[in-house]
Homo-oligomer: A and B are copies of this chain.
Amino acid sequence: MGEATPLDEFGIIRHFFAGRISSLGPEVVLGQGDDCALFSVPPGYHACISTDTFTAGVHFPADLDPADIAWRAMAANLSDLAAMGAVPLGCVLALTLDKGQVNEGWLDQFSSGLGEAVDRWGIPLMGGNLSRGPLSLTFTVIGKVAEGQALLRTGAAVDDDIWVSGWPGEAAAGLQRLQLGQQQPAHLLQRYTRPQPRLVLGQKLIGLASSALDISDGLLADLAHLFESADLGALVALDDLPLSGQVLDTLGKEEATRLLLTGGDDYELCFTAPAANRMAIAALSAELQLPLTRIGTVTPGAGIWLQAVGSEPVPATQIYSKTGYQHIE
């Protein structure tokens, strides 16, 4: 850059955010620059809100490409909107920058990744906050969903099918490769660095799914959340799991299965639906060109059981003692 950029709070906002990142959208009445941003919610709609923090060294490697840091954090938050069937409306970002790490190159790349995500997912950056401290990003995303139509975690019934989108486990495999300093397979790395929130899928599942959530902590851990308030459980067919060909090739079947069931960071959707909707869900899979795989059935009584063809069901906790990522240990 020709001119020296003053890297104080307002200098950073001016040079790397304001003007560079879309701040306005159809429902955003007032964007960045005031005490608050203002937005409207169309008549007949509710607003959805979700917030998530990503801290360097905890939720991502500190030396990850800054563009990927921005994209991943945004995608993870959008995944919560996807799980409700919502359409993105806008977001705010509270960004904490480490004094030692902040330089123009880093900020430039970060801002590019953020701008890419904002444009790709149509979610204007309505405002934010910049402060000093250990590197972390907290996005709060706002979406809209027709009143009474949101996909909830509650709603599953006994005998409903359990479905999952995509190839869970690929992101965890990608992270493993990244941590080993490997650059291949590129597809797996990209599944970790550039997750794709299943927004359209979520929107199209309204009327089809009886409950839904996104997989951020691992399929088994998140699946348990679908049933924790009701006295329900799941029987998962091990032979029906959508094992990723690339993960199989790279790590073998046992590890591929483990990562599918317990790896995090995929941001795929897991949902339940009555058996009567199988054809419609298959048609949706074809329309979106996204695998939707029926992996099991909702059962009465708590607990998640895994079953291989020709074997008795086994409690999931017996095979995988730690079923998902715990943010606090």
Chain A contacts to B: CB under 8 angstroms: 7-9, 12, 29-30, 33-41, 43, 46-53, 55, 57-59, 80-81, 83-84, 86, 90, 92-94, 96-97, 99, 102, 126-134, 136, 138, 140, 142-143, 145, 147, 150, 152-154, 212-214, 229, 326-329
Contacts and interface: CB of A to CB of B under 8 A. Distances in A.
Nearest to A84: B36
Contacts of A53: 94, 96, 129, 131, 133, 136, 138
B99 A51 contact: no
Copies assembled: 2
A4 B101 CA distance: 40
B35 A49 contact: no
B126 A49 contact: yes
A8 B134 contact: no
Q: Nearest 6 CB-CB pairs, A to B?
A: A55-B133, A35-B83, A36-B48, A140-B140, A138-B138, A53-B94
A266 to B, nearest CB: 15
A152 B30 contact: yes
B49 A94 contact: no
A50 B92 contact: yes
Nearest to A97: B328
B129 A52 contact: yes
